[in-house]
Amino acid sequence: MSMLSGKRILVGVTGSISAYKSAFLVRLLVKAGAEVQVMMTESAKDFITPLTLATLSKRPALSSFMGDPNTGTWNNHVELGLWADLLVIAPSSAHTLARCAHGFCDDLLSAVYLSAKCPVFFAPAMDLDMYRHPTTVENLNRLTSFGNHIIQAEHGELASGLVGEGRLAEPETIVQVLERHVAGRPVLKGKHILITAGPTQEPIDPVRYISNHSTGKMGYAIAHAFSLAGANVTLVSGPTGRSLPDRAIRRIDVRSAQEMYEATAQVFTEADVTILNAAVADYTPLAPADRKIKKAESVFSLELTKTIDIAATLGTRKQPGQLLMGFALETDNEHTNAVKKLHAKNLDWIVLNSLRDAGAGFGHDTNKVTVIDKDEQTVEFALKSKQGVAEDLVTLIEKKLLERGLE
């Protein structure tokens, strides 16, 4: 479930060639479960029809104070400003930025902006030189000083044919910014969270490798949840083929267990919290062949050597104030084995998965976990989506950080 589910969102659309993207934005917000009310400036109608936005939002797109002339109703800007949980003006033309920055109030959108009690987001869209012009820069700074949020324009090809900053942020990016704002947790803001995810691949020869069934779904869900909560997230990922769930996440791609260790160890000293979710191979071929091994003998032996134990190694390097969470996937004596790992590797928590639990483990969109802390206090969670599990882990770590802050 999206963080925007049930939120009431006003979407302001202004006169810009990128107004067509507002249709995609509205569609994504509705799909996320938000209630969306579109407001348009008169010039916006030159680029996209009110009917299009009304159909997507399931509400009439408003552009004037006059409502139904037959009944004498009107579109009350004060009520709209009070109704909304969020106001996002996307695209925000240079003209609209200037009007809002200086308090001009000659249409419904600007009147609602001045009346709004909710957080306001401006997503500028204009040509390169307009975006860089000192007047626009000053207006953006002025709006920021009022407590508004700016969703920066992106770099790319513009309608004029120039290439540079000025493109409206992609609708997916705008939605992520809104989700991050709604999900933000002050105690996590600015905290550095290091997460490992996915499998490792241990080369046998140039075309074959040893691996496991990990898909990376759980680790990527954890990274997404922490990023939405306002943390700075570094994700060290084995080969998964998964796309990054949030552009704010820094991803480091690795292949082998040794590469995962080296990448993780390099970032570990900077991390406030490290979550080791990756399914790292325990063994790797001792001497990988540099050429493809031909099928010849009926029996083939492969000599393996242990890989470095990332959790145990980082556990010995953990500094006061750092938190370390590991994962254990077990098939028997689950609780006993998990507790042994918890203490042997100097973890603050271990998250236990049992392959005996239906719908848990590799490949599923759901998971069922038991979290054990270093005092062996145990919390069992019900089967839920992996995103739901990730949010539970965010809450657990947030609580620990809050406790430390009060000590």
Strand, helix or coil for residue 109: helix
292 has binding-site annotation: yes
User: What residues contact residue 144 under an 8 Å CB cut-off, 6+ apart?
Assistant: 150
Nearest to 348 by CA among 364, 372, 329: 372
DSSP state of 303: -
Omega into 50 within 30° of 0, i.e. cis? Answer: no
DSSP string, 181-232: HHH--GGGTT-EEEEEESB--EEEETTEEE--S--SHHHHHHHHHHHHTT-E
Q: What is the 3-state secondary structure (H, E, C) of 315-351?
A: HHHCCCCCEEEEEEEECCCHHHHHHHHHHHCCCCEEE
Look at the block and give the residue holding tokens 């759901």: 366
Catalytic residue among 212, 232, 346, 367: 212
Distances in Å between the Cα of 313 and the Cα atoms of 229, 317, 329, 377 are 28, 7, 19, 24
- How many angstroms separate the first and last alpha carbons of the chain? 34
DSSP H helical ranges for 84-200: 94-101, 108-115, 128-132, 134-145, 171-183
76 carries an active-site annotation: no
Task: Report how far residue 88's alpha carbon sits from residue 124's, in angstroms, rounded to the nearest whole number.
Answer: 11
282 has binding-site annotation: yes
381 has binding-site annotation: no
Question: Are the C-beta atoms of 109 and 14 separated by less than 8 Å?
Answer: yes
295 has binding-site annotation: no
24 has binding-site annotation: no
Active site residues: 212
Give the annotated binding-site residues: 282, 292, 327, 341, 345
Annotation: binding site for CTP: 282, 292, 327, 341, 345
